[in-house]
């Protein structure tokens, strides 16, 4: 009996040792499973909820964000020239964490290490906007040994909360959004999520930082085909656009580079009876405003006509 117990204990210790060893081995992101993502489920979507017949892609299907209803053309606030922006739906002003790993004594992130996130669209605490947390790991740390936020938080490393914000909407693999300002890369980026690789777009048209711990917002004025106070009105009716054109008379209050710019827009809806008179911010503010602060939507500006 004692021999059997000793053998069993030795076997358990061996298995445990192997488990610990396996848990501390680096993982190749190219060979890791890819996280399944659904931005349009009833748990994730607000303005872009998938319904029968509305053409919204299915769960984990690639999304072409260069097609409607995912991209809109509005007016510049000052010149009235066309501007284009993506629509990544409503987001909270409470940012989610983005864990970036640094070796002790170094001032640059660990080369090759993917950032680590802890939520996907539809999950509690998810946000396209992420606040950067620096995590200081030992000098001997090997890139991509850590791939899970829960394990990272349990590891006892030093965490440093910064005010840096990143706009990084997580999307299904093979999705596309080809437009960017300032020659940014439109390619999908990667982060670790519970040992899987989550794909996301990066938008860096402006340097963003938290405001009292929150994602800052900027106003945008919009008009719908049917006013929100009418049957089937509001977002479901679509933005009112010019005939045979993509041009809406939506006007953001700021552009990248302007003081107070944020891609998280606080939506104000004006009466579509005034739609033809709106062509810049001055005219938008003169229109009859039906509602303000109806939603905060992630709409990074990606094209500005000179």
Half-sphere exposure of 51 (CA within 13 A, CB side): 6
Q: Report the percentage of the chain scoring pLDDT > 70.
A: 92
**Owner of token pair 């499973």:** 33
Which two tokens mark 289?
């405003």
Give, as one character, the DSSP assignment of residue 263.
S
More confident position, 18 or 138:
138
Residue 79, φ and ψ in degrees, nearest 5: -90, -20
DSSP3 helix / strand / coil % (the chain, rounded to 5):
15, 30, 55
With cut-offs at 50, 70 and 90, classify the pLDDT of residue 24.
confident
- At residue 8, the pLDDT reads 44
**Under 8 Å CB-to-CB from 202, ≥6 apart: which residues?**
166, 167, 168, 184, 185, 189
- At residue 39, the pLDDT reads 98
pLDDT tens for each residue of 50-67: 999 888 999 999 999 999
Q: Report the percentage of the chain scoring pLDDT > 90.
A: 86
Is the pLDDT reported for residue 279 higher than 80? yes
With cut-offs at 50, 70 and 90, classify the pLDDT of residue 253.
very high
Is the pLDDT reported for residue 247 higher than 60? yes
With cut-offs at 50, 70 and 90, classify the pLDDT of residue 68.
confident
Which whole number is the average pLDDT over 257-268?
97
Is the pLDDT reported for residue 214 higher than 80? yes
- At residue 64, the pLDDT reads 98
CA distance 118 to 8: 37
With cut-offs at 50, 70 and 90, classify the pLDDT of residue 6.
very low
- How does the average pLDDT of the chain come out, rounded? 92
- At residue 287, the pLDDT reads 98
Which whole number is the average pLDDT over 255-260?
96
**Which has the minimum average pLDDT: 15-19, 75-79, 229-233?**
15-19
More confident position, 16 or 209:
209
- At residue 53, the pLDDT reads 86
- At residue 244, the pLDDT reads 76
- At residue 131, the pLDDT reads 98
**Sign of the dihedral defined by the CA atoms of residues 26, 32, 34, 35, in that order:** negative
Whose CA is closest to 113, among 100, 130, 96? 100
More confident position, 169 or 8:
169
Which whole number is the average pLDDT over 147-151?
97
């Amino acid at each position: 009996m004692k021999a059997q117990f000793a053998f069993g204990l030795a076997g358990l210790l061996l298995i445990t040792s192997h488990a610990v060893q396996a848990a501390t081995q680096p993982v190749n992101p190219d060979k890791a499973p890819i996280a399944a993502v659904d931005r349009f489920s009833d748990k994730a979507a607000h303005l872009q909820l998938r319904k029968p017949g509305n053409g919204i892609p299915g769960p984990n299907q690639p999304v072409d964000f260069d097609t409607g209803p995912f991209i809109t053309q509005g007016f510049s606030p000052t010149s009235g020239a066309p501007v284009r922006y993506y629509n990544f739906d409503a987001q909270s002003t409470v940012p989610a964490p983005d864990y970036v790993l640094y070796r002790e004594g170094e001032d640059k992130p660990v080369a090759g290490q993917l950032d680590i996130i802890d939520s996907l669209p539809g999950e509690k605490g998810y946000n396209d906007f992420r606040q950067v947390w620096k995590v200081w790991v030992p000098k001997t740390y090997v890139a991509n040994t850590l791939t899970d936020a829960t394990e990272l938080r349990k590891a006892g490393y030093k965490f440093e909360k910064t005010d840096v914000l990143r706009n990084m909407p997580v999307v299904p693999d093979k999705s596309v959004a080809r437009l960017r300002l300032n020659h940014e890369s439109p390619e999908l980026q990667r982060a670790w999520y519970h040992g899987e690789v989550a794909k996301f777009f990066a938008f860096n048209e402006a340097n963003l930082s938290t405001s009292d711990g929150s994602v800052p917002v900027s106003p945008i004025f919009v008009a719908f085909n049917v006013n929100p106070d009418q049957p089937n009105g509001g977002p479901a009716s679509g933005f009112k656009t010019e005939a045979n054109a993509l041009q809406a008379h939506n006007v953001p209050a700021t552009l990248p580079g302007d003081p107070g710019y944020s891609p998280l827009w606080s939506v104000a809806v004006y009466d579509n009876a005034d739609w033809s008179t709106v062509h810049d911010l001055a005219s938008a503010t003169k229109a009859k405003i039906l509602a303000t602060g109806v939603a905060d939507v992630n709409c990074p500006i990606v094209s500005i006509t000179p």
